[in-house]
Each structure stands twice: as structure tokens, then as C-alpha cells.
Amino acid sequence: MALNYIWIAFFLIAFVFALVKLIFLGDTEAFKLLVDGIFDSSKSSVMDIALPLAGAMTFWLGIMKVGEKAGAINFLSRIVGPFFRRIFPEIPKDHPALGNILMSFSANLLGLINAATPLGLKAMDSMQEINKDKETASNAQIMFLVLLTSGMQLLPVAIIAQRAILHAADPTDIFIPCIIATYVSAVVGMIAVAIRQKINLFDRVIIAWLGGVTVFITLLVWYFTTHLSKEQIGTFSKIASNLLLFAIPVVFIFGGLLKKVNVFEAFIDGAKSGFETSIKIIPYLVAMLVGISVFRSCGALGYVNEGLRWVISHLNLDTRFVDAMPVAYMKPLSGSGSRAMMINTMQTFGPDSFAGRLGCVFNGSADTTFYIVALYFGSVGIKRSRYAIPAGLIADLAGIIAAIFVTYLFFG
């Protein structure tokens, strides 16, 4: 419902602003700009975004299917099992809910789009079986939802693909910044829920996992800021990103060979959904890009951002991040909306601009809190979400702050 009202507001606000400009300012081009924006954004949504995206999505979904057949999800589940048993203490050790949760997060980490949501819904349903109050979210369900809203993913394929479509010099240069930002979002969200649920954050397994990863990322950032120039940081990000991205299909294919999987058939099986996925997003892209276009063309979004820019400038802070803030505004509400905002930001300022890169990192730093809560809780009939949304928004805010920081660090 929130997205419905937001989309309606785009057009109503645009109409009012254009009418005011026409009547009081004599701007005879006000409505022409809106109409031109509708036609231009409608065309670019399909011809420049959705259709070119089909090729990239087809390849990576095929590769992810190979990884799934090779046992990548089961492998990750075995690794993270001890950690997840600590942060979901209400779930009995041998209950199938724990395995479903592990499978869901593994699919999310690997970017298995088609598998992640069904596995997540199955995990939610299995947790509902042990939920005493069927209309109220349990502690385990809330922890699960908040971790999902952090959007933890090892491979932000869609973001990289969009950058490639828009001819970024190096589409993968936002890879490591996205991982750092989404990790911060996940940790902050988990800590917020753990404190509320009185989970022992000093358990040695939790400390080992969070401490190890946090120390590694902290040392990485410290080394970058104290030992490397901006150019060297960019070079490192480029080399590491491309090395990891090429290593993933190689490792999955090699794993498939070891498991005696018919790698080619597995790839084709997964790749079939690539074009379907790209086609499915066309209505969302058209709707949101047109709505955003008229909103920006009327000047309303500019006024909001200029207000924020005025505040930031009076605090004597750099204001370049403000141009990408519409992505952050939309992210908790709609994945398609934030993706459209990200694309619009890159189209407006350039994919290699500071704003263009920050918009991508914003989009990769968290997931859609309101949509996820509505989808997963709605699937099992939960009406009282308790503190799930506030905790999810805390994670979103942490991701936004982290995204701004790492973008200045990497692309300053």
C-alpha cells in the first residue's frame, strides 16, 4: 500500500508543481517537460534497461544453478550452522526450521534469486509451526526478517549488470563497498534485535564469527585509509572485484565436475529464468521510472534534496552524497523503486560519478524492509510484527551511513 500511495503522490505532486509554474511563473514548458519525461523514461525502461539486462541475468542465474547443484548451499549451511543456532535460541536444535533458515540465507548470500524467496517463505512457515501466538511474530521470526532486510549478498549481480548497461568504466568497482555496507547493516540489525531479545552476544561462537569478520573489514579499511592513495584503493578494488567475480563461476563449475553434475544442463536450467526475470521487472521499471521522471521534472525532488543540501552545507560538510539520497529514501519501501532511483541517478550524473556510485552502494547496502515484512509475515498470517519494522529500519540507517562512508573512502 505504501508504494501505491508513493506512486500516486509522484503524479499528483508533479501536476500541482507544474500547474503552479504555469499559472504563477508563466512557465509554458512545465507540462511539456512532464510529457517528454513520460515518453523518454518509458522507452529507456525497456530498450536501455530491461532487455540488455536479460543477457547478464541469464548468464549469472545459470552459473548460480550450477553452484546450487554442486552443493554450494549445503556447504555454506554446514559452515554457518553453529552461529545461527546461537542467534535463534528458541528453535530446537533438530527442528527443520533451522535447516530451512540456513538454506534461505545461503541462497541469499549466493544471489539465487529464484530459490531465496521460496526457501525464505518455507523457513518462515516452519518457524510459525513452533510459534505459540500465531498472529504475533516470534523472536526467531523477527531476527530472521531483520537479517533478511540487511540484504546480505556476496554477489550484487543486478547492480553490476546495470552499471555495465550504462557503460561504466569498471562496472565491478562498487563490489567491495557494497559488501562492507551490507555487512554493517546486517551486524547492526542483528545486534539491535539481540539486545531486545537478551541474546548473549558474548557467546564464543558469536564473538568468533562477528569478531573475525569485523576485525578483517576494520583492518582492511584502516589499511586503505593509512597506507593507500585514492588511486591505489581504486586499483585494488578493481583487481579484487574482478578476480572474485571470475573465480565464482570457475569454482562453481569445478565443484559441479567433482559432484559429477552435468554442468551445461544445470547452467541451461538456471539460465532459462534469466529472460523471464528481466521481462517480469519491465512493468515495475516503467511505472517507477516514469513516476520518478515526472517527480524530478516538476522540481519537487530537487527541492527536497536542496533542503537537505542546505542543512549539510551549513554544517560545513561535503554535499555530493545528497544527489544519491533518493535511492536511500526509496530502499526501505520498494526494491523496484530503489533500483529505478539508482538507474535514474546514474543516468543523470553518470555511472562513474560519485553520486552514481553511491546510488549503487545504497542499493546494495540493505533490502526492502516494508516489502519483506509484508510478504513474509503475510504468508503465515502474522498481524502483529512487534518491533520488526523499527529494527529493520535501524539496519537500513546503518547501511546508509556505512554506504556514504565507504563511497567517500573508495571514490572520495
Cell reading at 251: 569454482
**In this predicted model, what pLDDT tens digit does every residue of 79-127 receive, in sequence order?**
777 887 888 888 887 777 777 787 777 767 665 555 566 667 778 888 8
Q: Is the pLDDT of residue 1 over 60?
A: no
Q: Is the pLDDT of residue 49 over 80?
A: no
Whether residue 4 lies inside any domain: the answer is no
Position 45 confidence tier, pLDDT thresholds 50, 70, 90: confident
Q: What pLDDT shows up at residue 263?
A: 92
Whether residue 91 lies inside any domain: the answer is yes
Q: What pLDDT shows up at residue 15?
A: 94
Q: Which domain holds residue 47?
A: 37-411
Rounded Cα distance between 301 and 322, Å, is 11
Percent of the chain beyond pLDDT 70?
A: 89
**Crossing angle of the two packed helices 369-379 and 113-129, in degrees rounded to 10:** 50
Q: Which among 174, 186, 164 is positioned nearest to 108, based on CA atoms?
A: 186
Rounded Cα distance between 385 and 393, Å, is 13
Whether residue 17 lies inside any domain: the answer is no
Rounded Cα distance between 144 and 148, Å, is 6
Whether residue 393 lies inside any domain: the answer is yes
Position 47 confidence tier, pLDDT thresholds 50, 70, 90: confident
The CA–CA distances, whole Å, from 409 to 228, 350, 354 equal 11, 19, 11
Q: How many domains does the chain have?
A: 1
Identity of the amino acid at 269: D
Strands of 93-144, DSSP E: none
Whether residue 21 lies inside any domain: the answer is no
Whether residue 30 lies inside any domain: the answer is no
Whether residue 355 lies inside any domain: the answer is yes
Identity of the amino acid at 124: M
Cell reading at 40: 523518454
**CB-side exposure of 411: number of CA atoms within 13 Å?**
25
Q: What pLDDT shows up at residue 116?
A: 67
Q: Is the pLDDT of residue 78 over 90?
A: no
Q: Which among 394, 44, 408 is positioned nearest to 193, based on CA atoms?
A: 394
**In this predicted model, what pLDDT tens digit does every residue of 330-376 receive, in sequence order?**
787 667 678 888 998 999 899 999 999 999 999 888 877 777 777 78
Bigger pLDDT: 378 vs 408: 408
| Cβ–Cβ under 8 Å, residues 271 and 62 | yes
Q: Which among 155, 175, 152 is positioned nearest to 56, based on CA atoms?
A: 155
Distance of CA 75 to the CA centre of its chain: 24
For the entire predicted model, the pTM comes to 0.71
Whether residue 26 lies inside any domain: the answer is no
